[in-house]
Amino acid sequence: MTENVAAINSDSQQFESSTRLAGLDPRRAMVFDELFDAEGEPLDLTVLGPNEVYTNRVGADALLAGTGSKLSLALGAGVLTPLTVRGVVDGSYSKPVGTDVVMMAPLSSVQQLLGRPGELSVILISNRGGVFSGAALTDTVVERYENHAASGGGWSCCPSSTMR
């Protein structure tokens, strides 16, 4: 589940209007990349409490935030949701081109924050192989899922060129 939201750090008076809030399946996220916090510890989404997030280094710098910072997300007109930064991470699992600030939390937490339990907005698929050899399978995977969508699957498919 991903959603573009605005993030606010009231203490530093910093505001980012294009923040990617990413809800990730803690059991599967590491398939895409292993991320580490500022202390070199592997990212563990399962330790996050309610309204806790990890943010990427770029996001922490932009918001002048760090571990323990209190932030707010604007999730709608007049709706500010308080969050605490549990840790700062070098990288992110999913970041669309043009988005710098990414906040990550378990899928179920993000679904609850957004009031959309059980919903998904994106499914990331990792092909077998490395960065380049796995790309050879992309056309086959896209065709397979486009066929599913055309048969009433209710979703669309695009290759990862929109992500980096």
Phi (first) and psi of residue 46, to 5 degrees? -70, -15
Residues 6+ apart with CB under 8 A from 154: none
Per-residue tokens: 98:
């043009």
pLDDT level of residue 125 (50, 70, 90 thresholds): low
Residues 6+ apart with CB under 8 A from 106: 23, 24, 25, 26, 45, 46, 48
Higher pLDDT, 86 or 115: 86
Whether pTM > 0.85 for this model: the answer is no
The candidate with the shortest Cα–Cα distance to 60, out of 95, 101, 19, is: 101
- CA atoms of 72 and 69, how far apart (whole Å): 10
The whole-number pLDDT of residue 53 equals 94
Higher pLDDT, 112 or 52: 52
Report pLDDT digits (tens) over 46-83: 889 989 999 999 999 999 999 999 999 998 778 899 99
Beta-ladder partners of 14: 9
Average pLDDT over residues 138-148: 71
Q: Are 72 and 8 in contact (CB under 8 A)?
A: yes
**Does 7 have pLDDT greater than 50?**
yes
Helix (H) or strand (E) holding 89: strand 79-89
pLDDT level of residue 163 (50, 70, 90 thresholds): very low
Question: Which of 26-40, 53-67, 139-153 tops mean pLDDT?
Answer: 53-67
**Does 153 have pLDDT greater than 60?**
no
